[in-house]
A and B are shown apart, each in its own frame.
Chain A
Amino acid sequence: MIEITDLHKSFGPKVVLNGVNLSIAKGESMVIIGGSGTGKSVLIKCIIGLVKPDSGLIMVNGKDATKGDRDEFLEQFGMLFQGGALFDSLSVWQNVAFRLLRGPHKRSKEEAREIAIEKLRRVGLRPDVADLFPAELSGGMQKRVGLARAIAANPAIIFFDEPTTGLDPIMSGVINELVREIVVEMGATAMTITHDMSSVRAIADKVAMIHNGVVQWTGPIGEMDNSGDPYLDQFINARAEGPIEAVR
């Protein structure tokens, strides 16, 4: 479904991605882990075309992601941004239903609102938040609205940039389950970035760890604990000592 080959990206002198290779099969849930600032967000932005890579190939559904019809390409995606990125001039339900209210597959206002409220319920938000504005919500609530917006149009490929950061443990559990459901029931392909190891275990089919601009380790979730990779071991066991330096 998604094939990334030798992806490079630098910002000025700073090399962020230095030859990333990664493949994600259809209907699979891939979780990306790695230290802060290692380029996880940049990686998914490269795939969806928000950041232009310096070199490398990204294939989505057998087609070069940088070529062809942009609208058709973007239609398959849903994305939750790390910061939520809600439109603060629109109410919560209009945020969630943004895609349903526009474009070739436009629905009626009533129908769109109904779907939005249903999606809000799935991320644990009550219907009465629908008419509030993003600025009136807590950080964790904003995050969940962003999540509802990402899944509103039932996309085939979903990117979640830290879906559970800033949520309480119970809500994190709800969101983990939701991501799992989306993959299992809707058959979507998901790519999730998270720092939360309990999320990793709940969500992932496969795990990839980014370090020093490359995929340091990738494999099925079952092999994560016995990988023998010192970088991965240090990361998942949260140790200060090891090959990864704490000051970067």
Chain B
Amino acid sequence: MFILSWFFGFLAAVGRSFTALLAAIGRISFFMATAVSHVFRPPLYPRELGQQLLQIGYFSLPVVGLTAIFTGGALALQIYSGGSRFNAESVVPSIVAIGMVRELGPVLGGLMVAGRVSSSIAAEMGTMRVTEQIDALTTLSTNPIKYLVVPRLLAATLAMPVLVFIGDTLGILGGYLVGTQRLGFNAAAYLKNTWDFLEAEDIVSSLTKAAVFGFIVALMGCYHGYNSGRGAQGVGRATINAVVSASVLILAANYMLTEVFFSS
């Protein structure tokens, strides 16, 4: 009897969280659809877009660049020591290139930008919500979705591919440096190996992933900030939710995009 009531209680709890999840997905989808529909309707705010490109794109360069270069270097070391077990040290350049471009460049870049940008967007917009600045925008005949959300979504979606492209390149450079300076690869051979192995599809998939991840980062920051609860606590929670949901969604989207690009 006790077991039974415990079991039903458990079922009810699972059901509740499942409906809550569905409701959240519904709200986010609606928010996304509204925001995207505003991208195509004037007025646009080019000044705000420029500012966000600077904030999201340019100022994320050091983080993404450093992440990529160290990862590329570490990858080269790993592949070398792993490959030496079956005399396959020569695959280092190609695996570094593929690994960086297809997976690590976009995913690690996306996660780093999620930490940096989702949080700052959520905190900024959450503060604006709490101090009634978003309401004030409305009373000044300015649609807050257009003025705040659209520039951030566009900027992140446009800037991420550029960031990730630079990250991919620096990652390969990291591998190259370790390969030639520490592991005794011939410089020209390393480059040729890298270059011969990479295909256009690898780069396209990398940049597509980057654009999608950029969109996710900005969307999560905006959604949680825009709907922030009251007070400093509300803003804090919005920031956490933005970073966590952006990171998880990036990893999930990465799996799905990888299926789409490479499963056949």
Query: Interface on A for B, CB 8 Å cutoff?
Result: 45, 48-50, 71, 74-75, 77-79, 81-83, 85-88, 98-99, 102-103, 149
Which chain A residues lie closer than 8 Å to B142 at the CB level?
A: 98, 102-103
B 129-172 to A, binary, CB cutoff 8 A, 1 in contact else 0 = 00111011111111000000000000000000000000000000
B132 with A85: CB separation less than 8 A: yes
Complex CA–CA separation, A75 to B128 (angstroms): 22
Q: Closest residue to B124 on the A side, CB-wise?
A: A89
Quick one: closest B residue to A71, CB to CB? B141
Q: Does the CB pair B141–A74 fall under 8 Å?
A: yes
A74 pairs with B133, CB closer than 8 A: no
Contact A99 B132 (CB under 8 A): no
Contact between chains at B141 and A79 (CB < 8 Å): no
B132, A74: Cβ atoms under 8 Å? no
Using CB atoms, name the residue of chain B closest to A79.
Answer: B139
Contacts of B43 in A (CB 8 A): 102-103
For chain B, the bracket of interface size reads 10 to 19
In chain B between 86 and 137, which residues have their CB closer than 8 angstroms to a CB of chain A?
A: 128, 131-133, 135-137
A48 touches B136 (CB 8 A): no
Q: With both chains docked as a complex, state the minimum distance between the C-beta of B224 and any C-beta of chain A, in angstroms.
A: 19
A-B contact pairs, 20 of them (CB 8 A): A45-B135, A48-B139, A49-B138, A50-B135, A71-B141, A74-B139, A74-B140, A79-B136, A81-B132, A81-B135, A82-B132, A85-B135, A86-B133, A87-B128, A88-B133, A99-B141, A102-B142, A103-B43, A103-B141, A103-B142
- Bound CA–CA A215/B128 (angstroms): 32
CB distance from B151 to the nearest CB of A (A): 12
- Cα distance, A191 to B196, chains bound together (Å): 73
Residues from chain A with a CB closer than 8 A to the CB of B132 are: 81-83, 85
CB distance from B221 to the nearest CB of A (A): 16
Contact of A50 among B128, B131, B139 (CB under 8 A): B139
Q: Which residues of B contact A77 (CB under 8 A)?
A: 139
**A150: min CB distance to chain B, Å:** 8
Q: Which residues of chain B are near A98, meaning CB under 8 Å?
A: 140, 142
Which 4 pairs across A and B sit closest by C-beta, in order of nearness? A85-B136, A85-B132, A79-B139, A74-B141
Q: Which residues of B contact A87 (CB under 8 A)?
A: 128, 133, 136-137
Contact present for B131 and A85 (CB under 8 Å): yes
- Least CB distance from A96 to B in Å reads 11
Is A50 within 8 A of B141, CB to CB? no
- Inter-chain CA distance A50–B131, complex, in Å, is 14
A88 and B130 CA atoms in complex are apart in Å by 13
Task: Note all chain B residues with C-beta closer than 8 A to A85.
Answer: 131-133, 135-136
- Find chain A residues with CB under 8 A from B138 CB: 49-50, 74
Other than the given A79-B136, A85-B133, 16 more pairs (CB < 8 A) read A48-B139, A49-B138, A50-B139, A74-B141, A81-B135, A82-B132, A83-B132, A85-B131, A85-B132, A85-B135, A86-B136, A98-B142, A99-B140, A102-B142, A103-B43, A149-B140
B residues near A71, Cβ cutoff 8 Å: 141
| Alpha-carbon separation in the docked complex, A78 to B131 (Å) | 18
Collect the chain B residues with CB atoms within 8 Å of residue A49's CB.
Answer: 138
In the complex formed, the residue of A with least CB distance to B132 is A85
* Contact between A75 and B141, CB atoms less than 8 A apart: yes
Cβ distance B74 to chain A, nearest Cβ, rounded Å: 39
Which chain B residues lie closer than 8 Å to A83 at the CB level?
131-132
CB distance from A40 to the nearest CB of B (A): 15
Q: In whole Å, how far is B44's beta carbon from the nearest beta carbon of chain A?
A: 12
Looking at the assembled complex, report how far the CB atom of B137 sits from the nearest CB atom of chain A, in whole angstroms: 8
User: Once the chains are docked, how many angstroms separate the CA of A85 from the CA of B128?
Assistant: 8
Most chain B CB inside 10 Å of its own CB: which residue of A48, A78, A87: A87
Closest A residue to B139 by beta carbon equals A79
Task: Compute how far the CA of A103 lies from the CA of B42 in the bound complex, rounded to whole angstroms.
Answer: 11
Shortest B37–chain A CB gap in Å is 15
Q: Which residues of A contact B133 (CB under 8 A)?
A: 85-88
A162 to B139, alpha carbons, bound, how many Å?
17
For A51, the closest partner residue in chain B by CB is B135
**Interchain nearest-CB distance for B90 vs A (Å):** 54
Nearest Cβ in chain B — how far from A227, in angstroms? 33
Q: How far is the CA of A149 from the CA of B137 in the complex (A)?
A: 11
User: For the complex, what is the distance from the CA of A190 to the CA of B132, rounded to whole Å?
Assistant: 21
In the complex, what's the smallest C-beta–C-beta distance from B176 to chain A, in angstroms? 42
- Of all chain A residues, which has the CB nearest B130? A83
Considering the complex, give the chain B residue whose CB is closest to the CB of A103: B141
* Bound form: Cα–Cα A156–B86 in Å: 82
